[in-house]
Amino acid sequence: MKIGILKTDAVRPEWVPDFGEYPDMFVALLGRADPDLEFVVYDVEEGIYPEDVDEVDAYLITGSKSSVYEDKQWITDLMAFVRELNARKKKLVGICFGHQIVAQALGGKTEKSTKGWGQGLHTHTFVETPDWHDDESADLHILVSHQDQVVQNAEGARVLASSEFCENAVVQIGKHILTFQGHPEFLPEYSREIMDYRREMIGEGVYASGVASLTRAQEGDRVARWILRFLKG
């Protein structure tokens, strides 16, 4: 299987030696689940897209510090591409910003949440069990980093998992689109770097609870297995 990674942001240069760019994180995550995967990176911030949608078998949209409602040409172009993928029923996975732009592009709405920042390890609970799920715990422990949230889902979307903080945490559209608000690709050390950098912005309370949460185990590899079952299903 060949996966096209739609890169929507760059990692801060001082962090790249330790963590790589965002596509590198997904290559590492998904590669642990299936070493035979192939990847192609398209830097959509720079306007780079496949010449043919079928160059790859499936697509994944990364996270970004940008907000999907910002007036930026590359975001407008990416929403048009999401609509094309949806019309073609092409397999697509969205992560954080990717989760939000899928909703925004397909008739939903994302906005800055009145609940503030989500940082560190959160628990999202499945309210129904999709066919790609492992039928183990309904609770998913996943690293998050977001202030924006989907407040209205795309038409036909099913909310599979939620929390008190994030109502729309895992969403599926048909058999071809799956999105997660959390970051399965993050390592706890990277999450800590982000919180340290944004400490003043997110506030001491969120910072303290977020850092404390990193002592608990996150389930990124579990999500990787789910993603691949979904894409291959």
At 190-219, the pLDDT tens digits run 999 999 999 999 999 999 999 999 999 999
At 41-89, the pLDDT tens digits run 999 999 999 999 999 999 999 999 999 999 999 999 999 999 999 999 9
Domain extent at residue 135: 2-232
Task: Tell me how far apart the alpha carbons of residues 144 and 192 are, in angstroms, rounded to a whole number.
Answer: 11
Write the DSSP string, 55-117: GSSEEEE---SS-TTS--HHHHHHHHHHHHHHHTT-EEEEETHHHHHHHHHTT-EEEE-TT--
Tell me, what's the pLDDT at 222? 98
* CA dist list (Å): 46 to 37, 78, 217: 25, 11, 35
Q: Of these residues, 21, 45, 96, 219, which one is catalytic? A: 96
At 103-130, the pLDDT tens digits run 999 999 999 999 999 999 999 999 999 9
Q: Of these residues, 21, 45, 122, 185, which one is catalytic? A: 185
Domain of 185, CATH number, reads 3.40.50.880
Global pTM value: 0.97
Q: Of these residues, 122, 133, 146, 183, which one is catalytic? A: 183
Tell me, what's the pLDDT at 68? 98
Tell me, what's the pLDDT at 45? 97
At 130-155, the pLDDT tens digits run 999 998 999 999 999 999 999 999 99
Which residues, in sequence order, are bridge partners of residue 150?
110
Q: Is 96 designated active site?
A: yes
CA angle 5, 7, 227 (to 5 degrees): 40
* CA dist list (Å): 83 to 78, 115, 119, 197: 9, 29, 30, 34
Q: Is 185 designated active site?
A: yes
The total domain count for the chain is 1
